[in-house]
Amino acid sequence: MDEHIDGKTLIGSYVCSEQPGEFRWQPGPLTQAVKAGFWVVLENIDQAASDVQSILLPLLEGNSSFMTGYGEAIRVAGSFRLFSTISTSKVDVYHCTEGRTSLSSLWRRVMVRPAGTTDLVNIVTAWYLDLEPVAKKLIETFEWLNGASELIVPSNIVFFGKFSLRDLLKCYKGISGSGMSFSADRLSVDTHSCILKEVVDVFAAYSPSPEKRLNIVRDIAKMLGVPLTRAETLYCLDRPVLQEFQGAVQIGRVTLHRSEDAVSHEKKPFVEIRSSFHVLERIACAVKWNEPILLVGETGTGKTTLVLNLAARLGQNLSVLVSFFSLKW
């Protein structure tokens, strides 16, 4: 959570439909969770905007109904639960949140100590047993990246805290889903390169500076045993290969299922430049794991076009939520 995530992001908003000039209501993650009875975890609740706190107030007070921005009152499912986190080194969490949120008295506070190296190994191997041979090396890289997070994220970008266990598990999920074998005594160069790509995508993509990003890639490559010459060409000089098959679309290292309708779909013009292919690969990776993705850039640079292009290739519907931020200098 931060000041850029407002109530509309959680409750929902109107999005563009398939018809030009037409909009439809898209429920937000909080609205969907309340209705379906899911568990919701809000990270860094102390950084949330004031309107988010007012939205959460009825839920924290135990109300049985929840008002959406669509003017609809939905019933709160009995299995719905709301959790939040505060990243702090202070022992007294109450004084940490006091004065910053009026809801501190409504939360039940639980202190959780940071996971040590042994804890991390046990957690990741329980989730991804096939990655046990590389677990220790990946966690060593993760701990080094946490110590060097100020090098990855420049000072002019707001970045709360260090990388979390969720980031580590996301990295493991991508590596495990690559289809590579990690059981051999000596891993192949392609396997090391696959690991490097996933680690870089999760932990080094925050830096907008190509020079800093390349330095981080080199440091990660040294820790993972990837030759520097190969690491420098992997990220991100090489252009991902786009291939369309009868039942699948492959973009770089990501393969997605393709519906029968997409095969007969008329192809639209697509400018095949390296930067577009890299962004398309990252979008495809988010689609593969059913994760949201944030595309930032000036209006008219092709962000929405890339998403719609991928949707047409797959024959699927991908939702696009457009937000405009005005900067005052």
In order, the DSSP letters of 200-247 are HHHHTTT---HHHHHHHHHHHHHHHT--HHHHHIIIIISPPPEEE-SS
Please give the pLDDT value at position 291.
86
For 11-23, the DSSP string reads: HEEEEE-SSTT-E
Reported as a single tens digit per residue, the pLDDT across 123-175 is 999 999 989 988 989 999 999 888 876 555 554 444 445 788 889 999 999 99
CATH of 7-106, one of 3.40.50.2300, 3.40.50.720, 3.90.1150.10, 3.40.50.300: 3.40.50.300
CA–CA gap between residue 243 and residue 240 (Å, rounded): 10
Domain borders along the chain are 7-106, 117-237, 242-314
Reported as a single tens digit per residue, the pLDDT across 58-116 is 999 999 999 886 778 899 999 999 999 886 654 444 444 444 445 678 888 888 888 88
Q: Amino acid letter at 298?
A: E
Report the chain's mean pLDDT, rounded to a whole number.
82
CA–CA gap between residue 58 and residue 184 (Å, rounded): 54
CA–CA gap between residue 312 and residue 258 (Å, rounded): 10
Reported as a single tens digit per residue, the pLDDT across 1-47 is 777 788 888 998 888 777 778 888 888 899 999 999 999 999 888 88
CA–CA gap between residue 243 and residue 232 (Å, rounded): 24
Rounded to 5°, the CA angle 153-118-86 comes to 45
CA–CA gap between residue 301 and residue 306 (Å, rounded): 10
Q: Average pLDDT, stretch 260-267? A: 68
Please give the pLDDT value at position 99.
43
- What is the rounded end-to-end Cα distance, in angstroms, of the chain? 24
Please give the pLDDT value at position 97.
46
Phi, psi of 17 (to 5 degrees): -95, -175
Q: Is residue 195 within 8 Å of residue 134, measured between CB atoms?
A: yes
Reported as a single tens digit per residue, the pLDDT across 170-225 is 999 999 988 888 876 678 878 888 898 889 888 887 676 778 888 888 888 888 88
Distance (Å) of CA 207 to CA 139, 156, 164: 21, 11, 17
Place of tokens 């392609």: 190
Place of tokens 């957690």: 123
Tokens describing residue 276: 């577009």
Q: Average pLDDT, stretch 308-327? A: 80
Burial class of 146 by CB neighbour count within 10 A (0 to 12, 13 to 18, 19+): middle
